[in-house]
Amino acid sequence: MGMYGRVLLSALGRRAMIVILLAIIVAFALLSDRFATLSNAQTILQGASALSLLAIGQTLVVLSGGIDLSVGSLVALSGVIASLVVQGNPDMLLPAVLAGVGVGLFAGLVSGLLVAVAGVPPFIVTLGMLTSASGLAYVFSNGSPISGLPENFLAISSGSVFGVQIPIIIMVIAFAAFLILLTRTAYGMRLYAVGGNPTASRIAGVRVPVIYVSAYAASGALAGLAGVILASRVTAGIPTTGAGYELDSIAAVVVGGASLLGGRGTLRGTALGLFLIQTLNNGFDILNVTSYVQKIVKGALIVVAVFVDVHANRRRS
């Protein structure tokens, strides 16, 4: 292969996610006239808004060298708590939002402390939190949807500013804020350093436990905000809301190029992975593809992404 061929392959490799996303968009557009429409594009963005918050939080945790399996259950628990606070009382809108975010933040702090201080593996900690949060969501809701929510709470998902829906605005602000945090601040540099080599980071003076706790706390708080948005969208606090979202958030991060070993990945990659996953979800729904087939495809994407990452690490070594 000549020099120009190698340069072309290298350029395609760096932009593989964009190429794949465009190919998927073209394929769905050819398969259904309903896909390539402005209203469907808005549907994709609206659907991605809550998941984007989970993916951002998951990115922080994965960069630190961990994983957060609890975000789906935290979405359900936060939505239930927020709905209980605001049910039948429009004046409690702000306390309801704060309660939902606070529940997620507290759960994230607990997970982070167990990982950073007690030394429990992240997989075990967040798996336990997933189960506990799911159980609490059923306890607080008595296993039934919490309905009768006021209009101002429902407006969180249905309202708009200058024609742009509020959840989409929240998504854009969150991506911008955390992109600056990861790329323009000392905290971002320390997060990458801890994920890459926690021992060396500790020797260099980085407060490693603080980085761990802050990553899980941020992930929990973002899951809490996502729970509030989804409760507003479905007009009720439902204990099953968010089921499977942990898989989608992990898929977005890993498919976006982050390493599950920690220390490598970008929020831009996560954004591409997120919209790839959301585009697949939307296209499959339009084509009436069953949910279990969708899970197979997303699971396969994760396996392929991790396989590529492992081999890339071996080549660099």
Q: How far is CA 265 from CA 85, 295, 309, in A?
A: 38, 24, 11
How does residue 4 score in pLDDT terms, banded at 50, 70 and 90?
A: low
Q: What is the pTM of this model?
A: 0.89
- The residue written with tokens 């084509």 in the block is 287
Alpha-carbon gap, residue 24 to 108, rounded angstroms: 35
On the question of pLDDT at 44 being above 60, the answer is yes
Q: Which phi and psi (to 5°) does residue 143 adopt? A: 75, 10
Alpha-carbon distances, residue 36 vs 27, 42, 242, 274, 285 (angstroms): 10, 11, 27, 18, 14
Number of neighbours of residue 259 by Cβ within 10 angstroms: 21
pLDDT at 13: 47
pLDDT at 116: 94
Distance CA 147, CA 162 (A): 29
Question: What DSSP string describes 144-186?
Answer: S-B----HHHHHHHH-EETTEEHHHHHHHHHHHHHHHHHHHSH
- Tell me what pLDDT residue 313 has: 59
Can you read off the two tokens belonging to residue 168? 């989409």
Highest mean pLDDT among 10-14, 158-162, 191-195: 191-195
Q: What value, to the nearest 5°, has the Cα angle with vertex 48 and ends 224 and 78?
A: 15
Compute the distance between CA of residue 152 and CA of residue 147 in angstroms, rounded to an integer. Answer: 14
Q: Any idea which of 85-99, 108-122, 285-299 has the lowest mean pLDDT?
A: 285-299
Residue with tokens 């039934």: 144
pLDDT digits (tens, 9 = 90+) for 98-107: 999 999 999 9
How many other C-beta atoms are found inside a 10 Å radius of the C-beta of residue 128?
Answer: 16
Residue whose C-alpha is closest to residue 83's, from 167, 154, 168, 160: 154
What is the pLDDT of the chain when averaged over all its residues?
89
Residue 157 sits at the vertex; the CA angle it makes with 112 and 40, to the nearest 5 degrees, is: 105
So what's the pLDDT on residue 308?
67
CA proximity to 220, closest of 117, 25, 77, 64: 77
Measured distance CA(70)–CA(297) in Å, rounded: 22
